[in-house]
Amino acid sequence: MTDPEAATHRPRDRVEARDVEALETQTRALRAVDYRYGGGICRDAVLARIRRGHRMLGMPISGSVRPMLLSAVADLHNLAGWTCFDSGRAGEAHHHLALALSLADDGGDDELAANIHYRRGRVHLHHGAPDEALAQFRLGRLAAKRSGSKLAASILSANEGWAHAKKGEVDLAVGLLDRAGEEFAGKSEAKPPDWARFFTEVDVSAMAGSIHTDLALHLGGRHVGLAISSLTDAVERYGPEMRRSRSLCLIMLATGHVLAGDCDQALAVGVEALETAGALESARTRDRLRPLEEEVAKHLDDPDCRTLSEAITQFAGSSHT
């Protein structure tokens, strides 16, 4: 006699649209974990789903479903690259992002390709290679133009501006930040794709704060106050679902307060930043403490900065990823 339950769970020999939708749902859930807890928490689970996705690519599939599957597996590699990046595994991140881009191109998904270029650029930017980052952001802009997505263009403009800010190129950085705001205001996506959903009005403020923080580190002046204002806005509006983003903003905000000479505020914000970072499995968050640590070290005659310096040293000594 045939077991009805076994028949229900027997693997099918053909990929259907609902199988792709299930894979997309799993990716969406894992991306939410990454934002909230850090890439180290969910990296292995993402890699397991990738193996399933590639098995599906080797199965019979209709012509109409295949582009959907290519995009779904591309986005899994996109997420895998991001979780590897967040875990301090830059080589693995580049590997997965290259595979993601190849699959997105095969599927003709220009909007996803734009997002992958953005993420490839961010890996370079984090590791001190702004020119390589700019090359990726510009390739992403071309893909965004082909897709017609203003949201994708806005993400790329903001990050291109950040790369210029890291080089101290104020006019280019501020001009691209302004363009990112205009593109964001003109976006038409009522329901953006999952990989771009993070970029909200709060993230526009966070990017403004990031750009002005790096300009403040180079030039000081008005950029210090602009960084503090934008980052304060982002920190107040980020919810627990974006804990890592909030942690990164707190670190930069503490840096801004040091640059402004407000060491008491820097201490309060810095301690909160360390507490938030301690709840994450994110090597990237810990890496981003270095500029704060360097600025605080310039003001060890101030008791608040000295206390914050000691807290950062203790945190670094106890951290693990």
On the question of pLDDT at 194 being above 80, the answer is yes
Q: Which of 190, 223, 116, 194 is nearest to 159 (CA)?
A: 116
Section 247-255 average pLDDT: 98
Look up residue 287 and give its two tokens: 């890496």
Domain boundaries, the chain: 11-108, 109-180, 200-321
pLDDT digits (tens, 9 = 90+) for 163-174: 999 999 999 999
Assess if CATH 1.10.10 describes domain 200-321.
no
Going through the chain in order, the beta strands assigned E by DSSP cover none
Structure tokens at 72: 């779904």
Confidence of residue 188 (pLDDT cuts 50, 70, 90): confident
The per-residue pLDDT for 210 is 98
Return the C-alpha torsion angle 298, 303, 304, 308, nearest 10.
60
What is the reported pTM?
Answer: 0.92
Residue type, 279: A
User: Which whole-number Å values give the CA distances from 60 to 15, 63, 84, 201, 216, in the listed order?
Assistant: 6, 10, 31, 42, 56
Q: What is the pLDDT of residues 71-127, one digit of tens each?
A: 999 999 999 999 999 999 999 999 999 999 999 999 999 999 999 999 999 999 999
**AA identity, residue 283:** A
- For the stretch 8-54, pLDDT in tens is 444 557 899 999 999 999 999 999 999 999 999 999 999 999 999 99
Identify the CATH class of 109-180. Answer: mainly alpha
Domain 200-321 in the same topology as domain 109-180: yes
